[in-house]
Structure 1
Amino acid sequence: MLQLLNPLWLWTIAGIIVPIVIHLWHIKTGKTLKIGSIALLGESARQSSRSFRITDLILLLLRCLMLIILALLLTAPFWQKQAKLTKAKGWVLLEKQPVKEVYARFKPQIDSLIKAGYEIHEFDASFKAIKPEEILKDSTKSQSRSYWSLLKLLEQQLPQKTPVYLFTSNQLRYFKDNRPELALDLHWKTHTPADSVSTWIQGAYLTPTDSIQLIVGNSKASGTSFSKINLQSTDRGNPLFNVSVEEGKPVAALKNSPQPPVPVDTSTLKITIYQNQFPADAAYLEAALQAVKKFSGRKIKLISATNFNQIPAKQNWIFWLSNQNFPQKNQKLVAGGNLFEYETGKQQAINSWINSSESFGRSASEPINLYQHFLADKRSIADENSETVWKDGFGGPVLSLQQNGNTNIYRFYSRFNPSWNDLPWSSDFPKMILNLIYESFPPVDFSNNDRRIMGEDQKQISTAISSDPSYKNSKQMDMIDLKHACWIALFLVFLLERILSQTKKEENYG
């Protein structure tokens, strides 16, 4: 049965009207009459004869067929047919990496299932059947697809009501996306891999004292944590870490670890506070930034400016505490960086609180009260490029983020002032500013080092088999992509059309 993934493209078949009109619009070629003299002939208007009839019918059909095949290609066609039923009693799915560890852990169960007539398949997108003697030969790397997405794919390909025994690890990094509801007779067995503890260097940077600060990650079954380790220049014989120079730049590495050396960030974070009209607000913000500088240990150059000309070029952050908008012509001062602006507009009193993207362990008894704010512009709320970073208790934006080229523009709908909110008195204020600054750095993926495990109760999924008769009688279907066949057909029709068209030209002018 022919199936189309994008049937909307079928409307392009209407394009066959064009070659039909061209072929219908037939203009007869005038005949030449030989006469002895034109002296007695008077002037007359030129006339041409037209008739609406199809010429070159085969050529017309070929051109129409080309357009139909092209439209069919756009619809992504495939042929669905009933799959050949196997005699297997059920399926045994084995995770490809590490297959040896999976098989060793569940060997008695797997062997008994094989003897009972179950068929072994790889647990990846192909679900390829493998022979028992090939189980331990697989040395491929771990698959990156989520278990959930693979199970949804399995549901589409597996013969209905076939028992499935799945053997995988229980590490959380493979349980991505949302947990699905499945119509599978699934028996899922998991185990904790041998490498259940991982240590790695998440980042490294130079401190104001020229020591190297390492952010070291440690992940195990119960959770993932990060710690800071300070390496002095004199720590040449550190038993855990090695610092060297590669291509003129310092790098840090964990000894006896497969992790490649991590570059040490030697840059200085440049931050400017422009306090033209809000010196009290600037004082609160500067105190929070000083706390961030002390806690992080990073090289941070903090400048407080009362005049626009005092702002240096190429700043990583500019906190623009002013009722006037930041001059567009001076965007180069923060190009590629972050601009934090005070929003202006209609001021309104409000009895609410501030929620940031990170709760920082706050309980419901420790809210950050919000007393006044500016109403967000409706166009800003509807802007798809705008993201709400901090919200009020009603879900409205308190701090929004918008991309302008390679610059991040933050708009704050309140003020750093006790008469507006409790941010200046909150211990979470420096943490919220720290979170903003760290989110501006490129994210570092540590999923390959994540060793947290999924609890048995968390991976339970709905596997109820429907009692609908149509479900019971449904059969496994194979899907054959027709894309390549369509391309071949299109090429052959085009080739035939060109040959026929050239032949017609030679007949008319030869």
Structure 2
Amino acid sequence: MLTFLAPSSGLLALLGLVVPVAIHLWNRRPARTVPVGSIRWLAVAANRRMRNLKLEQWLVLLLRAGLVALLAGAVGGPVWRQPPPPRLGQVFISPDLLASESVEAVRATIDSLRRRGFALRQLSRNFPRISDTTWQQLRTAPRPPATATYDFWSRVQQAADSFPGQPIRVYTSATLRHFRGNRPALPTTVSWQALPLPGARTTWLTGASLSAPDSLRLLFSQSTTEAVLTSRRTVARPQQNGLLLPRIAGLPPLRYQSEAGGQAFIQVLDTDSNRVPVQTQPLRVWVYHDAGHALDARYMRAALRAAALGLAPRLELAVASTPPALTKELDWLYWLADTPVPAAWQQRTARGLMLWQDGRQPGTSVATTFAVTPQEEQYRISRLDTTLSHNSATVVWLAATGQPVLTHQQAGRGGFYRFHSRLHPAWSSLADSPDLPLLLLPLLQPDSTHTFSPHDQRQLAPAQILAPQPPSSAPQPAWPARASAIDMRPWLLLAAALLWLLERWVAGRTAAKPRAV
């Protein structure tokens, strides 16, 4: 498409076409002298020729007019704009949705996009193309493991970066475990639709402990699209190594195995082939509180008892206003007091003790929230203890203002947790939240998070998948950024130079021929 950067200047320059016409009207060639017998009629003929001016040398005139027109066009700044090739879009489908029946709900939409030129790809490593055969015969496509975990947010961000400016349609499941990390701010070219998987339900062995010398307590969980339920069952401990345990509905066969060192395991006879250790010792927890933290201790005791339902070992919990004796063997010590933890107990962290200390009075008044993950509930924080944590401490819970709420410092086989707030209602809303046991459970039993995540079938709300896009008032450019523009002025000047050479040659030949009168 030809456009002019300065069309008004070019139109004014076209007025120069009158110049060659005027030159041809007034610049007449001298006539050849022809002897005649009488000059009686020459004066009358000369006057008639002066009154009857007409154009001559039409070819030279046209060449000169064309030269002026080319120069006028160059003044107008002609540009040849090459619109970019049509932007073909991309369609991405997650592997779990591709192998499920839910993909039939969007098949017609995807077929319509494919007819418009969209490429069909799998939302996985390197974004492989999905062939027509695979798309038409999805029932024969290999199904990923039920416990496979993907990272949809980072994959879609990578897809947007790999195909910039192209329309992107994303179709995934809404399974919660596939959305990890922080939700990215995706460009407006990305359209995302999440579909629930039908009948998603998994059951897995969470833990095992020795409840009596001849019995085992098995902890297993069942996840649906709405919730995760945990149950316990006590079975007889096999007297011989390698025997199968009684079958539990929904679980694969379980085999009891004991090693030479006395450590026993439950072998899951499935494709994952996990080994769950049998814990022989209870989880020993002591909650110490002073008078100012008595209410905090009540909330902590209730939360720990509720969290014990999801623990494999038996919970031995003591709540007292006196510190435990140094001879007491503990796994956890909750120090709910303004006084510092005694050095003797801090040294016990090298042997595996976990210490927890609440915020100290008076604290600093704040108005912020925190969430363990972006898709979970926001918890209010009203006061924070500004005591600085050690440089090597890791932030476990972070407030929206960037202040640490819970930090963890590794020390030997144990560690030190500093809760910069409190469970008191004047400090936070955690005391009234039913999620407090779920927040404490991964801290009490870190292995439960690794065991739980691959089996979680809960669904994420569609509104939590894509970050809201702020309205943009910036005008869209008339031409895309990748549209090519060729400046035609050098070509017009080259054509004008060639035309001028041709005009000089034609004018020279014409001038060499005398004109008869």
| TM-score with structure 2 setting the length | 0.51
Describe how 1:383-394 pairs up with structure 2 within 5 A: 385=393, 387=395
Paired residue total: 369
2:155 aligned with 1:150, yes or no?
A: yes
Q: Are the structure 2 counterparts of residues 282 and 245 from structure 1 closer, same or farther at C-alpha, using a change threshold of 3 Å?
A: farther
Secondary structure, counterpart of 2:236 in structure 1 = coil
Tell me what 1:263 maps to.
277
- The answer to whether the 8 Å contact 2:93/2:171 transfers is yes
Tell me what 1:337 maps to.
353
Secondary structure, counterpart of 1:439 in structure 2 = helix
Q: What's the offset of the Cα at 1:178? A: 1.0
- The answer to whether the 8 Å contact 1:319/1:340 transfers is yes
Matching residue within 217, 227, 230 for 1:227: 230
- The answer to whether the 8 Å contact 1:199/1:449 transfers is yes
2:327 aligned with 1:312, yes or no?
A: yes
Tell me what 1:484 maps to.
none
Give the whole-Å Cα distance in 2 for the aligned partners of 1:349 and 1:118: 57
Whichever residue aligns with residue 308 of structure 2, its letter is S
Tell me what 1:40 maps to.
none
Tell me what 1:474 maps to.
482
- The answer to whether the 8 Å contact 1:197/1:451 transfers is yes
| TM-score with structure 1 setting the length | 0.52
- The answer to whether the 8 Å contact 2:92/2:123 transfers is yes
Tell me what 1:73 maps to.
none
Q: What's the offset of the Cα at 1:389? A: 6.8
Give the whole-Å Cα distance in 2 for the aligned partners of 1:442 and 1:203: 12
Matching residue within 383, 395, 408 for 2:415: 408
Matching residue within 444, 447, 453 for 2:459: 453
Whichever residue aligns with residue 98 of structure 2, its letter is V
Q: What's the offset of the Cα at 1:329? A: 9.0
Q: Are the structure 2 counterparts of residues 158 and 243 from structure 1 closer, same or farther at C-alpha, using a change threshold of 3 Å?
A: closer
2:196 aligned with 1:192, yes or no?
A: yes
Instruction: Deviation per CA, 1:291-310: give whole Å up to 9, x if none.
Output: 94698374345679999994
Bigger radius of gyration among the two: 2
Describe how 1:78-227 pairs up with structure 2 within 5 A: 89-97=88-96, 99-101=98-100, 106-135=106-135, 139=142, 141=144, 144-158=149-163, 160=165, 162-176=166-180, 177-184=182-189, 186=190, 188-207=192-211, 211-221=215-225, 223-227=226-230
Gaps of 5+ in 2: 1-83, 239-244, 485-517
- The answer to whether the 8 Å contact 1:313/1:333 transfers is no
Instruction: Deviation per CA, 1:463-484: give whole Å up to 9, x if none.
Output: 99975328822379xxxxxxxx
Secondary structure, counterpart of 1:473 in structure 2 = coil
Q: What's the offset of the Cα at 1:449? A: 1.9
Give the whole-Å Cα distance in 2 for the aligned partners of 1:170 and 1:287: 34
Instruction: Deviation per CA, 1:170-226: give whole Å up to 9, x if none.
Output: 333333431523131x554543334522222333333469754444333223x2222
Identity of aligned residues (%): 19
- The answer to whether the 8 Å contact 1:212/1:232 transfers is yes
- The answer to whether the 8 Å contact 1:388/1:400 transfers is yes
Secondary structure, counterpart of 1:447 in structure 2 = helix
2:445 aligned with 1:441, yes or no?
A: yes
Tell me what 1:247 maps to.
258
Give the whole-Å Cα distance in 2 for the aligned partners of 1:414 and 1:454: 29
Give the whole-Å Cα distance in 2 for the aligned partners of 1:357 and 1:88: 40
Give the whole-Å Cα distance in 2 for the aligned partners of 1:171 and 1:164: 21
Instruction: Deviation per CA, 1:259-309: give whole Å up to 9, x if none.
Output: 74533322222345679xx69979995996599469837434567999999
Q: Are the structure 2 counterparts of residues 117 and 260 from structure 1 closer, same or farther at C-alpha, using a change threshold of 3 Å?
A: same
- The answer to whether the 8 Å contact 1:204/1:264 transfers is yes
Q: What's the offset of the Cα at 1:157? A: 2.7
- The answer to whether the 8 Å contact 1:203/1:214 transfers is yes
Whichever residue aligns with residue 246 of structure 1, its letter is Q
Q: What's the offset of the Cα at 1:331? A: 0.7
Instruction: Deviation per CA, 1:393-451: give whole Å up to 9, x if none.
Output: x99999865444543224578999xxx9999xx98799968964751321423333222
Q: Are the structure 2 counterparts of residues 90 and 228 from structure 1 closer, same or farther at C-alpha, using a change threshold of 3 Å?
A: closer
Secondary structure, counterpart of 1:472 in structure 2 = coil
Tell me what 1:296 maps to.
308
Gaps of 5+ in 1: 1-84, 477-510
- The answer to whether the 8 Å contact 2:297/2:336 transfers is no
Q: Are the structure 2 counterparts of residues 124 and 312 from structure 1 closer, same or farther at C-alpha, using a change threshold of 3 Å?
A: same
Secondary structure, counterpart of 2:158 in structure 1 = helix
